[in-house]
Chains A and B, each alone.
Chain A
Amino acid sequence: MRDLFQYVPGNSLIHRLNPVTKIFLTVVICVAAFITDRIPYLLFLLCVDLGIGFAAGVPRKALGILKGLLRIAVFLFVLQALVVRRGTPVFWIFTDTGLVTASKVVLRLIVVCMPLAMVLAVTRISDLANALVQVLHLPYKYAFTLTTAIRFIPQFLEEMGGIMEAQTARGVEFDTKNAFRKLGLMLPLCAPLLISSVRRSEATAVAAEVRGFRLRTRASGYKQYPFAPADLAVLLFSVLLIAGAVLI
């Protein structure tokens, strides 16, 4: 869980894509998932997600993310299937419409979340920020805020894990199987953790300022982010994905 959002160094075709292209592809997959209303197409999109993970040389990561999402998905599936009361009953109190709708909701969730998490695994945070600034002309202030927030996720989880371990050692039942009980134990920890995060982000802002944060302009970046033929290929692929979602 902790290293779910961490960058995995590599030199695959996916790694070398322009960061803006990667974000674009992610957005396209999300849009396609919401346009289409067919389960086979959603399954196809899921394969695309996994294919990207394998092509980027991070299959373990892709499967790890999938596994994490599946846990939430099961819960959501049951909930959704129970809520939808239309259609004919097929099994106990579940109806056919309910099961179909629930499958779609769950598949969409997975298809949308996977590339979001994977972008971070195959893109350096600073490349993301620089490309947003250079190519999309986003003001650097916002790019910095965004990337700092992303950087804090694993740190936050790490601290949370540390506290939970320490509490478990003192006999607090964090290792309980009961999810609700676990959540109840974790919630009170959030406030102190958030406070320390805010404090740390203030310190980061100061550290950035004494390293010339305010002097940074669009021309500051040392690395350039030109679009390559591979980016064009991804663009074409994106058009096909959307077209498929609309037509199929």
Chain B
Amino acid sequence: MIRIESFSFTYEGEKAPALEDITLRVEEGGFAGIIGPAGAGKTTLARAVSGIIPHHYPGDYYGRILVGGLDPVDTSLTDLSRIVGMVFQDVESQIVSSVVEDELLYGLENFGVPHEEIPERLETALRQAGIENLRERSIASLSGGQRQKVAIASIIALRPRVLILDEPTGELDPVSSRQIFAMLKTLNEAYGITVIVIEQKIMLLSEFARQLIVLSRGKIAYQGPAREVLSHADELLQLGVNCPRVARLSMLLSERLGKPLPVCVNLDESEAQVRGCLHD
């Protein structure tokens, strides 16, 4: 679905490249997580995939990107946005309406979704984001977390084939964050939507994402299946990325017991593993 080959990008006026020699693939129906310290280039990568780079940010562009077979360089942003939906890191700047319902309507109207289909799309998106009760509220009266959910709902209502979310849980509490990821999982599994999510909460990423990409200073430090990437706990910590405790526990166990154990990515797995070890 997404292919990036030797991609480098330097913002106009900057000396150092924001991204350097990025090569990666996300299959159709994949669920990829991107993590990395501040300034690593995560947002830049999201902009490049959604076509905002190079259409709105000039700079030195090398390599090649393909999204659903389209090259962002010679596809208009409008055409690309029929395939790719993006939730911005700065939610505030994404909002164009004063009332929640209108915010969801905006994209649906623009993309010409048949009017008889609109009520159903609206209700489904509100339900999936868990904000049915906010439908008539003025956006100015919402909390940061609620606004974040509105922004997410307004994009999922469009049912894009690729969904990119730039730190969608930044303002959310742990329970809501988990809800959002559960929703992404449903969209991914039920509708086959390819999901790419930039996220600082490693525990959520390791549990939900099947593919992890660790960015550091504009380069890919690690990428691969979540378990494989998490087995580099010490190296990740040096880059400023914490490993979830369950993963570290697995590695500690395997070190102490002197035998290789699979890396756990959630509590249930971890519990089973610990029980297994105690049993032995």
Size range of the chain A interface in the assembly: 20 to 34
Chain A residues numbered 124-155 whose CB sits less than 8 Å from any CB in chain B: 124-127, 144, 147-148, 151, 154-155
The residues of B that contact A212 with a CB separation of less than 8 Å are 78, 81, 107, 110-111
Measured between alpha carbons, how far is A204 from B95 in the docked complex, in Å? 7
Q: Which listed residue, A124, A147, A216, touches B99 by the CB 8 Å rule?
A: A124
Determine if A173 is an interface residue (Cβ-Cβ < 8 Å).
Answer: no
Determine if B140 is an interface residue (Cβ-Cβ < 8 Å).
Answer: yes
Measured between alpha carbons, how far is A211 from B112 in the docked complex, in Å? 11
Size of interface on B: residues with Cβ below 8 Å to A: 40
| Known contacts A6-B141, A213-B110, then 4 further A-B pairs from the complex at CB < 8 Å, ordered by chain A residue | A6-B140, A203-B90, A207-B96, A212-B111
Q: Given A126-B97, A203-B93, A222-B108: A210 and B81 within 8 A (CB)?
A: yes
Contact (Cβ within 8 A) B81 A209: yes
Contact (Cβ within 8 A) A6 B138: yes
Q: Which listed residue, A200, A211, A221, touches B92 by the CB 8 Å rule?
A: A200
Measured between alpha carbons, how far is A211 from B158 in the docked complex, in Å? 9
Contact (Cβ within 8 A) A215 B111: yes
Task: Give the residue name and chain of the A residue nearest to B85 (CB).
Answer: A210
User: What residues of chain B have their CB less than 8 Å away from a CB belonging to chain A?
Assistant: 50-52, 56, 77-78, 80-81, 84-86, 88, 90, 92-99, 102, 105-112, 115, 118, 136-138, 140-141, 154-155, 158
Contact (Cβ within 8 A) A211 B99: no
Task: Give the residue name and chain of the B residue nearest to A211 (CB).
Answer: B107
Determine if A206 is an interface residue (Cβ-Cβ < 8 Å).
Answer: yes
Measured between alpha carbons, how far is A223 from B102 in the docked complex, in Å? 10
Determine if A9 is an interface residue (Cβ-Cβ < 8 Å).
Answer: yes
Task: Give the residue name and chain of the B residue nearest to A221 (CB).
Answer: B109
Q: Which listed residue, B93, B110, B115, touches A211 by the CB 8 Å rule?
A: B110
Measured between alpha carbons, how far is A9 from B136 in the docked complex, in Å? 7
